[in-house]
Amino acid sequence: MTFGREKRMWLAALALLAPIPLPFNSALEWPFLFSYAICVIYFLQRAEQGSWITLNNWALNFLGLAYLPIFAFDLRSAFSRGNAVTALLHLILFLVVVKLFSIRREKDKWHIVVAIYFLFVGAMATSSHVSILPYLIVFLAFSLLLLGRFAHLHMMNGADQDATPVQALPFRVPLTLVTLLVLSVAIPIFATMPRIREPFILGRGPGSGGMARTTGFSDSVDLSITTSIRGNRNVALRVQYADDVLIGDPSNLRYKGAAYDRYQSRNWFRTPQRIKALTPEESPSVGRVFRLGSEDDVVNTATIFMEPLRSMSLITPVETLSIRMDRSTMLGIDPGGAVTVPVRPAETVRYDIELAARPAIHAQLDADPESELSALDLGGLTDAIADLAREVMGEGSADERLDRLEQHLLNQYDYTVDFLGRTGEDPLDDFLFVYKSGHCEYFASAMVLMLRSQGIPARFVTGFLGAELNPIEDYYVVRQQNAHAWVEAYTESRGWQVYDPTPPDGRPTVAPQSLSLLASQLYDYITFRWDRYVLTYGADDQNNFFRRVRERLQNFWSKVASQESDEPPVANETGIETDNEQFQSPSIWRSRLPLGVLLAFFGATVVIIMIGWNRQRLLSGQGAYLLLRRRLRNAGLDVPDTLAPLELQRQAVESFPGVAEPTRYLIGLYLRESFAERQLAKSERQSLRLALRSLDDALREHHRRERKGPREDVDDLPTAA
C-alpha cells in the first residue's frame, strides 16, 4: 500500500464516522446521509483499488455553481423553520465529498480533515443522549490514530508518495495511552471550567431520549383519547429520600401533578386565572424556599429530579410542606394545591422538598371563596349522573356518603383500556350506564361529578402512583407508566383527603425484581448521571463542587494542625469550632511537617515506580535505536538527524572502538524491524536493554582511559632535584 492510497482510505473512514449521530438527532435527514455514505464508500472502494478519481478545476467550478441555487433554497427553507443548522450540514457534506474526489496536493487532505471535524462538532452539538459518549471516545481514538499516521507517513514520505511502500505504524500503544490521557484530563477540565450561565443545552431533540417520547401527562385531560401509557417505561421523576424507612410501601407513593376544577365537553381544565403566586423565602445559604405548610410537621426530606413532561406542573409528593429551588424561579399554586411553574421546563429540573408524615393537601378553600365554587362546579353533570349519585350515596353524614360512593365504583365497575367501538358523545354516561368499565380517568371523573352533585367539594387530580427502588444508588424511579388519576374531596370532619375509586387491578404496579429490571435500572442510572452531571451541570453545581472541596481541605488542614496541639478546638463567638492559637501562629508549619514528609515520600515512591517500570518494559527496535543515538551524542559524537543508521555505526566504531559489537547488534535489529517489517521476538526485545548496558560500559571504559592516559604521562616525567 502506498502513502497516497492509505491517506485516502483513512480520510474516507473518518468521513463515514463523523456524521453518524446527525440523523438520530433530527439534525440531518436520512436520505442525505445515505447519499453521502454512498459517495464516500465509492471513493473508499476506488482508493482501495488504487484507481481513484481526481476532478479537474472545470468540474469543481461546475459543481460549485450547480450547488449555489440548491444551497440558497435550502438556506431559505431552513430560516423559515428557524433552524439553519441543517442547511449548513448539507453544505459541509457536499464539500467533503467534492474535496475527496479532488485531492491533488498534501494540503488538500488537511482541508478535508477540517471539514470532517465541522461535521463532528455538529454531531456533538445536536446530541444529548448518553450514547454520544462512546461515539466521542471512538471518534477521538480514531482521530488521534489518523493524525499520528499522517505524521508518520509525512516523515517517511519520499519524492513519489503514491509509489512509496507503507510501513507498519510503530506507536499504536502510545496513541491509545494518549486517548485515555485526553479523556482523563477532559473530565476535571469540564468540572472546573468557569460557567457564567446555565447549561447551553435547553432540551433534547427527537430521538435523543427526551420530550418527543414523553407522553401521558399534560395540562388538560381528554376522556375521548386513550393511550397505552402502562407500557411506557420512560422516566418521569427520580426521587431520593433522606430516610427511606419513613416512606412506607413504594407502590403507595403518590405524586401530585395537577388539580382540575372544570369539566366541559369530555375535557378537564384548570383555570389559569385562579393560580396564585407563591411568595418565596430568600436565604443565601439554602436558596429560594416556597412554604406550603408548617415546618413543625417536617419528618423527612427528599430531592427530586423531574424530566420534561410537556406540562407546567411541578410534580411533588402529596406530603410536601416546602419546596427549595436553586434558581430564581417563581412558583404558583392552583386552587387544588398543585404547584405550577411559569413555563414548561425543557430540561431536567432539580428541587428539594420537606415532607409531612401524611398527605398535606394545600387547597385554597378557606383562603379564596372562589376556590369553593370551583370545587363545586357542575359543568358536564347530567341528570342521570346526579340521580345515580343520590341513589348510591343515600343518607347519612358526608363522610359516610362519600365512602359509599367510593366503594360502589371500586366494586361495581371494571378497569379496561379497550375502548374499541365506543363513540358516544358523553363518555361518562357510557362508562356509568352502558359499558361499566374504563380507566382511572373515568373512575375519578365520575366520582368528582357525583360528589359535586351532592354538594361535596371535589377535584380531579392527576399525577403518579408508585415508584420502583433503584438499588444501584438508592433512589426511587417514577416512570410514565405510573401515571394515574384520583380524587381529592372535602368534608368538615376530615378536611381535604385523597380518594382513589379505581379498582386495584387498574392502578399502576411496581415491577418485581428481575434481571431485565436490573438492566433497565442500570441504564437509567447511567442516563440519570449523564443528564445530571453533563447536560445540566451548571454554575450552581460548580459552586457547590468548589465549596465542598474547600470545606474538605479546611477540615483536613485543621485535623493535621490539631495533631500537634494538646488543646481541643474551641468555639468562637459565632459558635463555630476553631483551632487554638497555635493554628494561627507560625508554628503551623511545624504541625504540617508530617504532611510534607508524607507528600515527599509519596512523590519519591511514584518516581521510583515509574523508573522501575521504564526499566522493566520491553523496548522496540526503534526505541533502542533512538536511545543509541542519544547516548552516542552525549558521549561527544556528532549525530545529526539526517545521519543514516549504517553511517552512524561506522562513525561510532571509529570514535569508540569498544562499542562495535553492541552498536552492530542494536542497529541490525532496528533495520530488521523498521525496513524488513519483521516483528522482534520477545527474547530479542529483552536483549536490547542488555546491549544498551554493554554500550554504556564501553563508553565509560573509553572515557576512563582517556582521562587516565594524560595522568600517567605526567607521573613518568622526572622530578626536579
* Strands in 383-450 per DSSP E: 414-415, 437-438
What is the pLDDT at residue 371? 58
pLDDT for 593-645, tens place per residue? 444 555 566 566 666 655 555 555 677 888 888 889 888 988 888 888 888 88
pLDDT for 363-403, tens place per residue? 654 445 555 667 888 888 999 999 999 999 999 999 999 99
Q: H helices of 18-105, where?
A: 30-49, 57-81, 85-100
The answer to whether the CB of 304 falls within 8 A of the CB of 531 is no
Q: Which three cell numbers stand for residue 519?
A: 438492566
- At residue 54 the predicted structure's pLDDT band, cuts being 50, 70 and 90, is confident
- At residue 109 the predicted structure's pLDDT band, cuts being 50, 70 and 90, is confident
- At residue 186 the predicted structure's pLDDT band, cuts being 50, 70 and 90, is confident
Mean pLDDT computed over 510-537: 74
- At residue 576 the predicted structure's pLDDT band, cuts being 50, 70 and 90, is very low
- At residue 210 the predicted structure's pLDDT band, cuts being 50, 70 and 90, is very low
* Strands in 403-482 per DSSP E: 414-415, 437-438, 458-465, 468-470, 475-479
The answer to whether the CB of 595 falls within 8 A of the CB of 563 is no
What is the pLDDT at residue 413? 94
Domain boundaries, the chain: 3-192, 211-530, 538-596, 618-714
Coil, helix or strand for 419?
Answer: coil
Give the distance from CA 359 to its chain's centroid.
35
Q: How much of the chain, in percent, has pLDDT values that exceed 90?
A: 19
Q: Which three cell numbers stand for residue 224?
A: 375521548
pLDDT for 222-250, tens place per residue? 776 655 555 677 888 999 999 877 788 88
What is the pLDDT at residue 239? 92
pLDDT for residue 587 is more than 90: no
pLDDT for 674-709, tens place per residue? 777 677 887 888 788 888 888 888 988 888 888 776
Mean pLDDT of the chain: 78
The answer to whether the CB of 100 falls within 8 A of the CB of 53 is no
pLDDT for residue 155 is more than 60: yes
Q: When comparing pLDDT for 511 and 121, which is higher?
A: 121
Distances (CA, A) of 160 to 3, 18, 49, 55: 9, 30, 18, 20
Mean pLDDT computed over 488-506: 91
Q: Which three cell numbers stand for residue 107?
A: 494540503
The answer to whether the CB of 322 falls within 8 A of the CB of 295 is yes
pTM of model > 0.95: no
Q: Which of 111-115, 241-245, 324-328, 379-383 has the lowest mean pLDDT?
A: 324-328
What is the pLDDT at residue 232? 72
Name the residue with cell 508518520: 152
**258 vs 312: CA distance, rounded Å:** 9
**204 vs 346: CA distance, rounded Å:** 8
Q: Which of 32-41, 145-154, 193-202, 291-300 has the lowest mean pLDDT?
A: 193-202
Distances (CA, A) of 411 to 407, 460, 461, 563: 6, 20, 21, 71
pLDDT for residue 201 is more than 50: no
Distances (CA, A) of 666 to 305, 613, 623, 650: 63, 21, 10, 13
Mean pLDDT computed over 458-473: 89
Coil, helix or strand for 516?
Answer: helix
Name the residue with cell 471516545: 137
Q: Which of 1-15, 46-60, 698-712 has the lowest mean pLDDT?
A: 698-712
